[in-house]
Chain A
Amino acid sequence: MAEAIVFWTLAVLILGLGIMVISARSAVHSVLFLVVNFLLVAVLYVMLNAEFVAVIQVLVYAGGIVVLYLFVVMLVSLKKAPERYADPRRVAWTGTLLAGAVLLEVVAIVVASSGGGEPAATEGALGAADTPFAECGAGPLVSCNTEQLGWVLYTSYLIPFEVASMLLLVAMIGAIVLAKRHL
């Protein structure tokens, strides 16, 4: 019951803020709605027993990426929002209709593929079975999600982890090169 109340409240807020993000007139307002949206999604992650990802969401998304967006919005200050330019070739409702079709498709897939009821809890594929969820736990209130995730990340997913670090390094260099006026 409590879970249902929290879920529906969060769902309404997340979707409402999502709509605000894409409909706000000024880009600064969009970014601010986006921060709140990300924080609420982090609460959703906590509900789903993914505490580490929730913290990462707050730190990286709400703290890092959004601040980057805010900087760019401030740097790219416009006298006139792009939406103010009238363009007869552009029909906004076509995009909305197409997106609605995508939603129908996704919902159809979700409903069709969840018909099988409760799937059997499989042992973690790809070697994640080393640390089953239930094993770790110092008490009912203490979660060891971070410990488990770290274990899996540094054993089964070590190579992808290193590749991700290379990706971040390349992205960092790329961003500096792109934003720099003279090399």
Chain B
Amino acid sequence: MLEITPLHYSLLSAALFMIGVIGVLVRRNVIIIFMSIELILNAVNINLIALSDQLQDLAGQVFVVFVIAVAAAEAAVGLGIIIAFYRNKETVNIDEIQIMRW
């Protein structure tokens, strides 16, 4: 309890990951689903940084830098899609976004 091991960080990361998964599955606002995905990416980053610190290997931190870059790209493109969709359909409700359904 008082000694903080990488296991604690991993469990924190798992819990944050789960919160993100709940957000993706439960919410219907696309923007909030996107935020939940950011939470998931953050959970992964916590894990990588904790293990990088434990193993004394910088590869984990390098990986986090790349994850952040990809998250920024994903946010830019995803939010662009949301704007374009909202302009056409006037909704961000995920249940009504089905024009690409086969």
Contact = CB atoms under 8 A, between A and B. Distances in A.
Interface string B1-32: 11110111111101111111111011111011
Contacts of A172: 76
Given A87-B95, A174-B80, A37 B73 contact: no
Interface SS majority for chain A:
helix
A72 B65 contact: no
Contacts of B50: 48
A177 B69 CA distance: 20
A164 B68 CA distance: 10
Nearest to A81: B29
Contacts of A107: 11, 14
B1 to A, nearest CB: 7
Of B19, B28, B56, B81, which is in contact with the most chain A CB atoms at under 10 Å from its CB? B19
A95 B25 contact: yes
B64 A50 contact: yes
B93 to A, nearest CB: 4
Interface string B51-89: 011111111011011101111111111011111101100
- Interface majority SS on B: helix, strand, loop or mixed? helix
Interface in A123-164: 124-126, 128, 131-133, 145, 148-149, 152-153, 156-157, 160, 164
Contacts of A85: 28, 93, 95
Contact of A106 (B14, B28, B49, B86): B14
A50 B83 contact: no
A100 B26 CA distance: 12
B91 A124 contact: no
A122 B52 CA distance: 11
A60 B72 contact: yes
B61 A53 contact: yes
Contacts of B72: 60, 64-65, 168, 171
B11 A171 contact: no
Contact of B55 (A19, A72, A122): A122
Interface of B: 1-4, 6-12, 14-23, 25-29, 31-32, 34-36, 38-39, 42, 45-46, 49-50, 52-59, 61-62, 64-66, 68-77, 79-84, 86-87, 91-95
